[in-house]
A and B are shown apart, each in its own frame.
Chain A
Amino acid sequence: MLLAYAQLSLQAFASIFAPLFGQRGWRLSALFKQMVNIGVASMPTVALANFLLGIVLAMQGAGQFEKLGATDLVAALVTFSILREIGPLITAVIVIGRSGSSITAELGTMKVEEEIEALDVMGIDPVKYLVVPRLLAMLLMMPVLTVLGEGVGLFAGWLISVTSLHLDPIFYIHNATAAVEQKDLWTGLLKALMFGGVVGTVCCFYGMQVEGGAEGVGKATTKAVVTSLTAMLAMDALLTTLIYFI
């Protein structure tokens, strides 16, 4: 199972870079279609989830910092957590639930309906034709969605602090920028990129493995979502350790 996953992932990444070595380029129309499916269509949900978490973070932080008489630390808490962790994490969770599951279900249905075998018989590589546009769209759109989510989350934190906690709007921004470094933004985006790779390969893999009709598609979709979530969290832990503790 792991071997088959590794094989598919390697083959997919090799196909992504193949145009650099003179082979036929990416199917741009298929790529744009997937970027819209995975990225653009996820924007409202990603924005809403990050907005709500920005509010929750600010309110929870304010409750604790108030006891210490340090309410202005809310800005640091919100910015720091959103850029480093919450932004990439919650965005990936939304993308897994929304787009990852749909990738597995779509590829799985194609497998069941013999469409993938038909591609093979026509001499068209299903990995190049189906997996590459989805994986590439995931790699490109996960960071884009993360930036959007982080922006909305930061705005939500600022909004609640200014309106409900009566913090000074400019002072909040000053505190927020002082609390983080550029590295925090880059590491968050690196995480997003890695999450995109993990989610894309896992969901495509389970889709391509489906057997046994509609029931098989359902089971594979569940497995893809659970495995993507677990692998994404494990990747998060690993990257946090590598970047901040070693």
Chain B
Amino acid sequence: MSETKHKSPYAVEVRGLSRSFGPRKILADVSFQLKHGEILTIMGGSGCGKSTLLRHIIGSLKPDSGEIYIDGTETTKLDDEEFSKVRKRFGMLFQTGALFNSMTVGENVALPILESSDVAPHIADLVVKLKLELVGLTGFENLKPAQISGGMKKRVAMARALALDPDLLFCDEPTSGLDPVMTSVIDTLTVDLTRKLGMSAIVVTHDMTSAFRIATQMVFLFEGRVVATGTPEEIKANPNPILQQFINGYADGPIPLKLSKDDYLKRLLQS
């Protein structure tokens, strides 16, 4: 992919994004950039706002304030019709795979192809075969999602996300619930495909091994705020205690995972 094809040096740029649900502030002044051809991982504990952030980028949610640029186009102000044009340029791998259970694997991958243009079904079949081959699932076209394993579902979802040769790939917890081998398979696939197809990718994850394996850039969120950004080496060397506790998986530290006896008593008396 040549640089001249792009309108902006950044595939995705988020500026000062904030969002509250009722009194709870989920995202507070989040900013980061993803350069073309890079893989950025958004990390953080459960409930830190990383999936919400991704949903804002893909346009499922609208922010209270802040801007999101996809290859230089500001997407937060676009209406549904205009956004659907931008969406054609990206693929999304959902946490659960989000395959259509009533359709076969082949029909799932063919869906975006057939819906986006008047492609003849036999051409779509050919593209489906190619995409399934990319993810190592040749010959699985006629099986239903219920007949294949969790890891295979994720790979089919990846094939579907790649169906329209997107410039941008978004993955929401692509390795959650998978065994270490399958996690590694999905990671390798993400890295290989982004390199081979010249895509950029944003991967939301709380799996540190996986994040360090694939990322060229990292963003760490804590309670809706960006605590650290940088390359994997910079993140590893960052002395921030919250970040270090998360990377090393310590139970004790500044992240309030468990209330102490005193805090528990205090809260109980307050309520």
Contacts and interface: CB of A to CB of B under 8 A. Distances in A.
Nearest to B118: A24
A10 interface: no
Sort chain B's interface into a size bin: 20 to 34
B95 interface: yes
A123 B91 CA distance: 10
Nearest to B170: A121
B144 interface: no
A121 B115 contact: no
B115 A122 contact: yes
A113 B98 contact: yes
A154 to B, nearest CB: 38
B100 A115 contact: yes
Contacts of B111: 122, 124
A28 B2 CA distance: 42
Contact of B60 (A113, A117, A122): A117
B245 interface: no
8 contacts: A115-B100, A117-B94, A118-B100, A122-B112, A122-B116, A123-B84, A124-B112, A124-B115
A240 B85 CA distance: 47
B96 A123 contact: no
B236 interface: no
Contact of B96 (A114, A121, A125): A114
Given A113-B101, A114-B96, A121 B116 contact: no
B101 A123 contact: no
B26 interface: no
Contacts of B116: 122-123
A interface, how many residues as a size bin? 10 to 19
B82 to A, nearest CB: 11
Interface in B89-119: 90, 92, 94-96, 98-101, 111-112, 115-116
Contacts of B92: 118, 121-122
A114 B94 CA distance: 8
Interface string A116-160: 011011111100010000000000000000000000000000000
Contacts of A124: 111-112, 115
A85 to B, nearest CB: 37
Interface string A84-113: 000000000000000000000000001001
Interface string B32-69: 00000000000000000000000000111000000000
Interface of B: 58-60, 84-85, 87-88, 90, 92, 94-96, 98-101, 111-112, 115-116
A121 B91 CA distance: 8
A121 B87 contact: yes
Given A123-B116, A124-B111, A124-B115, A118 B98 contact: yes
Contacts of B99: 115
Nearest to B88: A123
Nearest to A122: B112
Contacts of A113: 96, 98, 101
Contact of A121 (B58, B100, B101): B58
Nearest to A106: B102
Contacts of A118: 92, 94, 98, 100
Nearest to A112: B96
A123 B87 contact: yes
B96 A122 contact: no
B156 to A, nearest CB: 12
Nearest to A27: B115
CB-based closest 5 A-B pairs: A118-B98, A114-B98, A123-B84, A121-B92, A123-B87
A110 B101 CA distance: 9
A112 to B, nearest CB: 9
Contacts of B84: 123, 125
Contacts of A122: 87, 92, 111-112, 115-116
Contacts of B60: 117, 120-121
A102 to B, nearest CB: 13
B84 to A, nearest CB: 4
A129 B85 CA distance: 17
Contacts of B115: 122-124, 129
A123 B99 CA distance: 15
Contacts of B85: 123
A88 B29 CA distance: 57
A207 B102 CA distance: 16
